[in-house]
Each structure stands twice: as C-alpha cells, then as structure tokens.
Amino acid sequence: MKDKLYKADELMHVLENTSLTDIDQKILNAKNHNEQAMWWTLYNLVLQQRQLKIINQKKFIR
C-alpha cells in the first residue's frame, strides 16, 4: 500500500475518526524507536483533542 500525504485538516479528520486501540496497535507493531515515538505522539494528540471536545461540550468551569 502506498503512503498517502495528507493536508493538516485532512490528517486531523482521519485521526479523529481512528480508534485509540488502532493507534495502540501501531505503537506495539512499530519497527523501531522513532516509529514508536511518532505513533505515541499521534496517540497523545488524538487523546488530547478528544478530551478538549468533551470539555467544550460539557462547558466545564475553567
């Protein structure tokens, strides 16, 4: 499969619709430390975005 280049907004859309368990599997199957670090960064980004969405929807007092 050929890798696809995404624009930033397309990438965020894809990541928002990807399950955390799928990204977790990518971390476990990483070929080297650099690839593992990249997937950890994406995992944390997706988790952070989802938490921010929940906070904004619930209108928590900050």
Q: Does residue 22 surpass a pLDDT of 80? A: yes
Q: Does residue 54 surpass a pLDDT of 60? A: yes
pLDDT in tens, 34-44: 999 999 999 99
Model-level pTM? Answer: 0.74
The CA distance from 18 to 50, in Å, is 11
